[in-house]
Structure formats: structure tokens, C-alpha cells
Amino acid sequence: MKLTKMSPFALSMSVFLSVILVRLFTLAFYPLMDTTEARYGEMARIMVETGNWLTPMFDYNVPFWGKPPLHTWMSASSIAIFGNNEFFMRLPHWLAGLASIGLTAMFAKRIQINTLNSAIVLASVAVFSVSAGAVMTDMALALGLTMAFAGFYLAWDGPNKWAYLGFIGLSIGMLAKGPVTIVIFALGAGLWLFWEYGFIKCWRELARRIPLVKGFTLLLLTSAPWFILAERATPGFLEYFFVGEHWLRFVESGWAGDLYGSAHDNPRGKIWLDFIGAALPWTLFIPQIIYRSYKELGWQFDSQTRFLLCWMLSPMILFTFAGNIQPAYVLPAAPALALLLAKTRKEADQKVLLSVAMIIPALLLISLLFIVPSKADYRADKRLLSDRDQELPTYYLYTDSFSSRYYSNGTVKTVKSPNDVEQSTAYYLVLPKDRKLDTMFTQNCEQVSFTKRRAMYLCQASQTNS
């Protein structure tokens, strides 16, 4: 059947399936990239290898205190069941994205917004599509916050059992990224409450409509035990995580206390530019969304629109005051953006919506064919290490990479000088491509592999030690 002869529903469904399945298809066709994906992938691999499912490890015997373990549990569970490769490492994050889409569609149906259009828009938001299949913390956080906002709104004018969905969502967010989950939610929900009811009445309504005591008890019972056990296993975790990661990282650009790299140093307010870029192509429609929403009810927003606007803006409002930010921090805004756009779409706009939705999967396929191959060698050491004899030791001169650890199953070693190399057997030596081989390594060393950033040499055993 020709595409032009499909029914409107069939055409919309085919576009939705194309968007999500293209993302699923791409998961296996490029390596885990340094630094984020390879770092979290290696942590998942170590978790499975060591059997330590309590504390994620940055390296062997080096606990990772930067984030809670949910994202590591997700990838580790998948590769433990199915096998360790890029597809299964990323699959749980794609499934979390699919769950976010399903939850957003369910919420849309409950509040009488076009369900399928909400799903199509969300799946084709650039930052959502990229994150749905990236080994990162952000999709689990987005899922938790979607549950929190949807549960809160449905409980407000309906059965308060929906509030427990919201508190479970906050618990998921706590285990995905920590207290920032509660701050983002409180900003969005709080701004809406003040907008709707004023500063005094909103508190009475909140206490009347939301089971706060039972809800927070549920939140604590489902999230606090891990934090307590993690502190007992590695003392010092709570201070670093809550004070360092959630205060000093926020107020100090380039925070020097980061144990696992270097903090990002960006101008205050840059998060709004990140939002415009990361939520393309749909941020181009925000002026139209606001105009239509405001005009429809006699130049004022209805309560539902106000809620979705507060939800969408909450991550940017929070991170306006932070310098340590990344574009993925805007991800929790994507479901609200999708709902706002679906709410204001007219029937005559459908062809435009479907055409725009195909931009992101098309760009993903183009990137896979023309951009990723060149970036892969620069951002990952998979190809560099693929042809080596795994029985021989591999040394990185001065510094290794997360991808080198992952693709060597944690066997590479870093050396600072020739004296650190065990030269009684043949070995591989890896160093930056633009650096000449040290004169003390030149005996019987032959380049066997190279990429855009590194070269690997096979060095024979030293005669003096043979």
C-alpha cells in the first residue's frame, strides 16, 4: 500500500514506529564513546565481573560516588543476561525511553490530548532520541520525573492513588541522579501551585489533595536503604555526594573537588541555549505553542497549559544558576514540550508534524553512515585494540581511556616510564599518535595499529631479560 493512501492513523503510527525502531537499530553500530558512555559502560562491566551490585566502581577497588547506581544496574543486568556488547549495554536505556513515551501517552489520554501525536513528538526530540540508547544517567531520571509530574497532576483532581505513582517516580529519580530530582519536581509543581492558588492557599490545597506523609514514607522506603548501605560500604560517600555533587558542583563552575574528571565550566544561563538546541526540531514551534495556547481562551492560559509550561521550564530554571551543566540536563523538559505541542496541533498541521518528526531518525542514519565512523576512532579505542593478541599485556603510556578499559575487559595498564613495563615478555604499547616512541622503547617495537588519536606498537621481549 502506498504511503499516501494510508489512513491518517496508520500514517501516524508508521511514523512513530519508524522513529523508535530506527533508534533501536542504531544501538549496535558504533562503539561506546569516551568519556561518558565508555565510563558508565565500564562501570557496568566491572559490576558484573566482580559481583558487587551495591557500589558502582569507577575502577577496580575505586568506588564511584558521583551518581547513584540505577543506570549501572540497568546496563549490568542486561549484559549479565544477554552478553556484553554495545547493543545490550544500551538496550535498557532505550527501554526506559520507550517507557517514558508510553507514560506520556497514557497521561495525554487522561488529560484529553492527542495520544499518538504526543508520542511522536517526544520520540523525535533530539535530546530524547539520543539519550534513548545512550549509556548515561539521564533517561532514567527523565522516566522518574515523568512519573512524578504525571502522578501529581492526575492525583490533584482525581483519585489520590495517582500520587503514589508520582512518589515512586521521585524514588526512581533519586536512584538515578539524586536529590536534583526532587528539586526539579518541586520547582515545576511549586510554580504551578503558586500560579494557580497563590502563596497561602496552595499549601492548604497541597495538604488536602496529596497524601504527603504516606507518599514521602514510600519515597524513603524505596530509595533511602541504598544510600545507607552505600555509606556503610564506602564511608565518605554521603558527604561527597550530597555536599560535593549537589552543592559545590552547582555553585562552583569548574569545581576542583571532582574525583572523577573535571567539572564543566559554562556561563550562567547557558542552559537555555542548550534547551533550544537539544530539543530541536520542536523548539522552533514554541512561539506558536504559546501564541495558540494564550489566544484560545481569550488571551490567557488554562490550568493544564500552565502546568505543562511549569513542568517544561523547571530544569532550565534550576540550571540557570549553575555553571556545571550539559545539554542532556534539559531532557526532563521533553515530555512536557511534546504534550504542549500535541495539545495545540490542529488537524491541518498533521502532515507538517509527521514530516518534522522524521528529521531526527533521518539525521541519525546519516550520522551512522557518514559522521560516526570518523568520530568513533577519535572517541573510542575499540578498533585500535581489536586485532591484538589478548594473551599479551597492553600498556598505555601516561594515560589510558575509559574505552580502552572497557574494550580490553579491564586489562590495560597505564605506565609513566619504561621502567614500569614488564619487558620479560612481548607486550603492546599504546601512546598518542602525535607522540614519538620513547627511545627506551624503540628496541624491537613495530607499529601494528593506529587511529586518529593513538598508535599501538608490538614490542618484543628485551634481550637482557629473556
pLDDT of residue 290: 87
- Which residues are registered as beta bridge partners of 454? 432
User: Residues of the chain whose pLDDT is less than 50?
Assistant: 1-3, 465-466
Looking at residue 466, what is its pLDDT?
A: 39
Q: How many CB atoms lie within 10 A of CB 234?
A: 17
Owner of C-alpha cell 531520571: 141
Cα radius of gyration rounded to whole Å, the chain? 25
Q: How far apart are CA 423 and CA 421, in angstroms?
A: 6
For the chain, how many helices (H) and strands (E)? 21, 7
CB atoms within 10 A of CB 430: 28
- Sheet-wide strand order for 427-432: 413-415, 394-397, 427-432, 454-459, 445-450
Q: Rounded to whole angstroms, what are the CA distances from 160 to 167, 231, 462?
A: 11, 34, 74
pLDDT in the model for residue 244? 81
Length of the chain (residues): 466
DSSP3 helix / strand / coil % (the chain, rounded to 5): 65, 5, 30
